[in-house]
Amino acid sequence: MKKEFLLLLAIFFSFFIKAEDNLFKKGTEFYDSGNYQMAIAYFDSLTSSGTISSEVHYNKGNCYFKLDSLALAIVEYERGIKINPKDLDIVYNLKICKDLIIDDINQLPEIFYKQWFSSLINTISIYNWQILIFISLILLIISLIVTKIKTNNNLKIFNTFLSIIISISLTIYFIGNFSEKNNIQAIVKENVVNIRSAPSDESSVQFTVHSGTKVVIIDAVENWFNISISDGRKGWAHKTSVIEI
């Protein structure tokens, strides 16, 4: 019975993986033929089904770039980097897109320890920190079981080492996850967006941003987002004028 269950499980996963591969292959074929809208539809079906892949976002970003949708291309590249910060193709394409943005905003200098910790978290993505924690926990459980059966000093050292790795990884994961949830980023999608002093069309215009500029969402009131940009300026923008990353 157990073998039959495992066989059914293996068949299910192989079918699921094959279906994903087919969707990705079809999307790539449409991209190669220049049918970018159809390619996006196939890549969308992958992300909507729960597929977590920097490659899918990279390809979607390329499609939007070909369609001259700069903001949407940036959104997809940013989403891809969240999954795999070390993907050089995404980093390169994102840089090209950023060079095309109209707004040239001077970024406020970041406090050194925040900059250091941000670099540490972004060494691998939050998703990959989860995987590292999960694998380490499995190894620790197996090692503890073996240690119970057979006492071994090397295993005890290994258990201690794994415990330290798990503790550090959990700390980084929870802080990174908290930071991500409290630092919601978005991309301006409209060509020109007036940032106002209050959540009202009658309020004064504080400054203007353009398509592709990254903002941080601080708060939300009805149909408005209170946003900030990298030079520290803040104001209110219509929710429909930005896309969350």
Would you place residue 218 in the very low, low, confident or very high pLDDT band (cuts 50, 70, 90)? Answer: very high
Among the residue ranges 21-30, 72-81, 175-184, the one predicted with the least confidence is 175-184
Task: Report pLDDT for 131.
Answer: 83
SS3 187: strand
Strand 184-188 and strand 205-210: the pairing is unpaired
Q: In this model, does residue 223 exceed pLDDT 60?
A: yes
Tokens matching residue 79: 């989403």
- Whether residue 224 contacts residue 239, with contact meaning beta carbons closer than 8 Å, is answered with yes
Helices 126-149 and 70-83, interaxial angle, to 10°?
A: 10
Strand 205-210 and strand 214-221: the pairing is unpaired
Task: Report pLDDT for 98.
Answer: 94
Report pTM.
Answer: 0.71
**Could you tell me which of 30, 105, 89, 34 has the C-alpha nearest to residue 57?**
89
* Start-end of H helices in 49-102: 54-66, 70-83, 88-99
Instruction: Report the DSSP beta bridge partners of residue 217.
Output: 184, 227
Quick one: what percent of the chain has pLDDT higher than 70?
A: 84
- Whether residue 237 contacts residue 196, with contact meaning beta carbons closer than 8 Å, is answered with yes
Q: In this model, does residue 16 exceed pLDDT 80?
A: no
CA dist 215 and 217 (Å) reads 7
Q: Long-range contacts for 16-20 (Cβ within 8 Å, ≥24 apart)? A: 20/46, 20/49, 20/51
For Cα atoms 92, 96, 98, give the angle at the middle one, nearest 5 degrees.
115
The more confidently predicted of residues 74 and 133 is: 74
Average pLDDT of the chain? 85
Q: In this model, does residue 17 exceed pLDDT 90?
A: no
Would you place residue 89 in the very low, low, confident or very high pLDDT band (cuts 50, 70, 90)? Answer: very high
Amino acid at 10: A
Q: Which residues contact 237 (CB under 8 A, 6 or more apart)?
A: 188, 193, 194, 195, 196, 209, 215, 224, 225, 227
Q: In this model, does residue 15 exceed pLDDT 80?
A: no
Q: In this model, does residue 2 exceed pLDDT 60?
A: no
**Predicted confidence (pLDDT) per residue in 126-144, tens digit:** 777 788 888 888 888 888 8
Task: Report pLDDT for 14.
Answer: 47
CA distances from 150 to 4, 147, 154, 156, 159 (A): 32, 5, 11, 11, 14
Q: Which residues contact 80 (CB under 8 A, 6 or more apart)?
A: 54, 55, 56, 57, 58, 61, 87, 90
Kindly tell me the sign of the dihedral angle through the C-alpha atoms of 135, 138, 142, 143: positive
